[in-house]
Structure formats: C-alpha cells, structure tokens
Amino acid sequence: MKIKTGIGFDAHRFAAGRELYVGGIKIDSPYGLDGHSDADVLIHAIIDALAGPALGRDIGNLFPDNDIKYKNIDSKVLLADAVKLIKDAGWTISNVDAQIIAQKPKMAPHIPAMRKVLAEIIEIPEEDMTIKATTTEKMGFTGRGEGVASIAVATLIK
C-alpha cells in the first residue's frame, strides 16, 4: 500500500459583475471572484491537493487558463474530471481537509452544503470532507476584504 498527502492553495480577488461560488455553492454577495473559470478558490485548492500527489500535476496543467473551453466553467466539473483522472491512475481518495480564508462574506453558514456537494463529487463520505473557515483579523488582502483564499490537504491511497 502506498499513501500520499497533497496540499493545495488558491486565492482570487473580488470582482464586480460576477457571482460568488465557493465550495461549489453560490453565495449571496454583491461581488464574485475574478478568474478564468468561476474562480471557486476552495475547489481549486482541493484539485491541487488531489492532483499533485496522484498525477504530479496542478490545476493549471490539467485545465489551462488560456483554453477557451474552461472560460467561466463550473469548477465542480473540473473537480469531477480531476477525480476521474486520479481514480483512473489507481488512487483512492481517503480524505480532504480544507480551510477558507475570508473576512467577508461569512462562510461558516455555507459549510454544511459545501461538504455535501464536495463529498459527493469526490466520492468520499461527508465525514471525510472537512471544511473550516477563518479570517485574518483584517490583515492582508483577505483581511481588507479584497478577495478570498483557500488551502486544502488530501490523503490518497494506492
């Protein structure tokens, strides 16, 4: 048996005129996140945490931001595609633990829905998909309310 652990990080700035998606959930907000896809920072961090140890690649290699087919794509689709590649490579996803870093909007009320959606896509029990939310106490770009960041860790077994 082989066990690997991966880590992923993503950050996006807020942008007017976009909807806000985090963890596959649409969050009511006057601003969204700027990016080529829907800019879901949590899913992007999770993809990196999974794809790194399993495939030796990151989200930018798997789904390049200069490819028009990924323009405004739902990141849940990217996650499902990444999970398929990982499983095809012979890996089982054991668990994912993630953190959302945002001063605003408040993420905690949305975490149960995020866990449900992401666990289903990743094909793991909900108890193995953990998400926490924190602020940076008004420090840095997230603390100033300029955007959102996320970090994720995943364990895979072969």
CATH of the domain at 147: 3.30.1330.50
Count of domains observed in the chain:
1
pLDDT digit string (tens) for 58-112? Answer: 999 999 889 899 998 999 999 999 999 999 999 999 999 999 999 999 999 999 9
| Residue 99 annotated as part of some ligand binding site | no
Mean pLDDT to the nearest integer, 18-31: 96
| Residue 102 annotated as part of some ligand binding site | yes
Mean pLDDT to the nearest integer, 105-128: 97
The pLDDT score that the predictor gives to residue 49 is 98
pTM (2 decimals)? 0.97
| Residue 26 annotated as part of some ligand binding site | no
CB-facing half-sphere around the CA of 73: CA atoms within 13 A: 18
pLDDT digit string (tens) for 5-18? Answer: 999 999 999 999 99
| Residue 136 annotated as part of some ligand binding site | yes
Residue span of the structural domain in which 50 resides: 3-157
